[in-house]
Amino acid sequence: MLLPRILAPVRAAAKTPLTPSPRVLDVLRQANSATAHAPSPSLSFVRHATHQAQGRANGAKDGPGKRLGAKKAGGEYVIPGNIIFRQRGTAWFPGENCKFGRDHCIFATESGYVRYYRDPSLHPDRQYIGVALDKDDKLPYPQNAARKRRLGFVAIRQELSANEKEGQTVVADLRVADDGKGSASVQPTRDGRTLTMGKGYAYRQANWDIGRAAERANVQVKQFVPGDRWTAWRKSQARKKLNVERKKLRTAGKKSAKPKARKRGP
């Protein structure tokens, strides 16, 4: 800070002529007397920051909350895509009809009711979040229990009419009946035909007519005969080698053209 003050007389002495003297003190006194009535030069200083503007030096800031936690309570109805729980890490795991998001949030994949539960058969300490398809269901489902269809339909009990017997399946205008011997038959259709088929199958008369069209036209299909694949592979390899040799013979007498030299710029 004292450096500008010390050099001020010297700068002023350089501007004003000084009388030569063998003594240095006389020269300094003369310079100081010459600058006593002269205006002092204005000095400008720039103050730099002494604290880092950003980064780890300032310490952690108290940012906004991330709104973590449960978004749906137990027993609440959800649809596919609804977020049930937001978390950092894996405090909760997805159970029945649920999946993980990329930020470890748990969302529903089926319509149903939320359940918070534990499943010792999967893990003794983990806690799971699942979706029960029915309001009265309890999670986890038994391991060998029949799984329900997930098509968004509701099961309705169908009552049989008076002219239908139990054990019969009605398909359009045909009725398939099981005789208990491993075969099934179709009752006569409107035109009086009787169609016979194996157990567990049902079809319409139009489909049966289409399937018999080739037989009525006496169309014969050539029977597929599987050949020896090893012999076929050997023949294909020999054929490829022969083609390579022929290509070499064709190009043996030809001279390869030399690439043209590129012209260099001036």
pLDDT in tens, 95-128: 999 999 999 999 999 999 999 999 999 999 999 9
Higher pLDDT, 87 or 196: 87
10 three-state secondary structure = helix
> How is residue 132 written in tokens?
């029960």
Alpha helix stretches (DSSP H) within the chain: 3-15, 24-34, 205-211, 213-216, 229-250
The residue assigned the tokens 């064709």 is 250
Among the listed ranges 138-142, 196-200, 207-211, 222-226, which one has the minimum average pLDDT value? 196-200
What pTM was estimated for this model as a whole? 0.41
Cβ partners under 8 Å of residue 7, min gap 6 = none
Architecture of domain 67-158: Beta Barrel (2.40)
Higher pLDDT, 264 or 249: 249
Between the CA of residue 137 and those of 22, 65, 131, what are the distances in Å? 113, 35, 9
Residues of each domain in the chain carrying CATH 2.40.50.100: 67-158
Identify the bridge partners of residue 77 per DSSP, sorted by sequence position: 113
Among the listed ranges 30-34, 55-59, 138-142, 181-185, which one has the minimum average pLDDT value? 181-185
| Residue of 48, 124, 137 lying closest to 93 (CA atoms) | 124
Are 106 and 83 a contacting pair, CB within 8 Å?
Answer: yes
Backbone angles phi, psi at 147, to 5 degrees: -80, 145
Q: For the segment 41-82, what is each residue's pLDDT rounded down to a tens digit?
A: 555 677 777 766 666 666 777 889 999 999 999 999 999 999
- Taking the CA atoms of the chain, what radius of gyration do you get in angstroms? 48
Q: How far apart are the first and last CA of the chain?
A: 61
* pLDDT at residue 28, rounded to an integer: 72
Order of strands, edge to edge, in the sheet holding 98-100? 69-70, 83-86, 106-108, 98-100
